[in-house]
Amino acid sequence: MHKNGLQVAIDGPASAGKSTVSKLVANKFNYIYCDTGAMYRAITLKVLNNQIALDDIEKISELVLDTNITFEPSENGQKVFLDGKEVTERIRQSDVTNSASAVAAISSVRKQLTESQELLAANGGIVMDGRDIGSTVLPDAEVKIFLIASVTERAERRYKENLKKGINTPLDVLKQEIEARDYKDSHRQISPLVKAEDAIEIDTTSLGIEEVVNKISKEIEKQL
């Protein structure tokens, strides 16, 4: 075990419930929560803000070296800051969502962010969620979870989340976007979305949030 507790890796496709569940698990065990997806989204936002083409690997590679991403806890969940400016809501908008896979597939971006994530997790006591945490970022994590859910279920979750934020994207468009995202994430050459061999798979399609949190908590307690 690490100095401050376990490393908990939670992976899975878009809208499988990773961040919701990870935050709750982290709170329960008083662990740090790291949303790696938010880090890739923040870089993507900076790329869009600077009007850099998504295939301009050289410029994006330079940009990521000169970027500071930080997290701050708040009563309404975790706030995300990009170069000192809060971008929590902004990075969830559709232009960022639909461009994030392209930016996340760039090897220099992944290398840089993976190093930051490894440093953050070095002492344990962390719940980290993403696409390649158990397989690449924290291969020695004591607890590895792989969350799945049907495309329909995930599209419906995203639809409800969006409505709360005043975003009204039709459900069938969200289904197509999620399917496209799954394909891009699982077919990229570097650190594709893949279930680590020793990960425990949990299908969240018909489970409530509390049920998923309890299942993961039991696995953590076993290791503790």
Q: For residue range 102-153, what is the model confidence (pLDDT) as tens digits?
A: 999 999 999 999 999 999 899 999 999 999 999 999 999 999 999 999 999 9
Residue 3 has pLDDT above 90, yes or no: no
In the chain, the domains with their CATH numbers are: 7-216 (3.40.50.300)
pTM reported for the whole predicted model: 0.87
Closest CA to 131 of 10, 8, 6, 7: 10
Q: How far apart are CA 89 and CA 60, in angstroms?
A: 22
Residue 190 has pLDDT above 90, yes or no: no
Res 76: pLDDT: 76
Residue 34: burial class (beta carbons within 10 Å; 0-12, 13-18, 19+)? buried
Q: Which DSSP symbol is given to 190?
A: S
pLDDT band at 165 (very low <50, low <70, confident <90, very high): confident
In single-letter form, the type of residue at position 136 comes to T
Give the Å distances, CA to CA, from 54 to 43, 65, 95, 109, 186: 11, 16, 12, 12, 19
Q: State the CB neighbour count (10 A cutoff) for residue 211.
A: 13
Q: How far apart are CA 80 and CA 87, in angstroms?
A: 6
Per cent of the chain over pLDDT 90 is 84
Residues 51, 102, 167, CA angle at the centre, nearest 5°? 75
Res 43: pLDDT: 98
Torsion angles phi and psi, residue 30, rounded to 5: 60, 45
Which of 17-21, 45-49, 72-76 is the most confident on average?
45-49
Residue 77 has pLDDT above 80, yes or no: no
| Strand ordering across the sheet containing 85-86 | 69-74, 77-82, 85-86
pLDDT band at 203 (very low <50, low <70, confident <90, very high): very high
Element housing 10 (H / E)? strand 7-11
Res 59: pLDDT: 97
pLDDT band at 199 (very low <50, low <70, confident <90, very high): very high
Q: State the CB neighbour count (10 A cutoff) for residue 33.
A: 21
Mean pLDDT of 75-79: 80
Q: Which DSSP symbol is given to 138?
A: -
Mean pLDDT of 170-179: 95
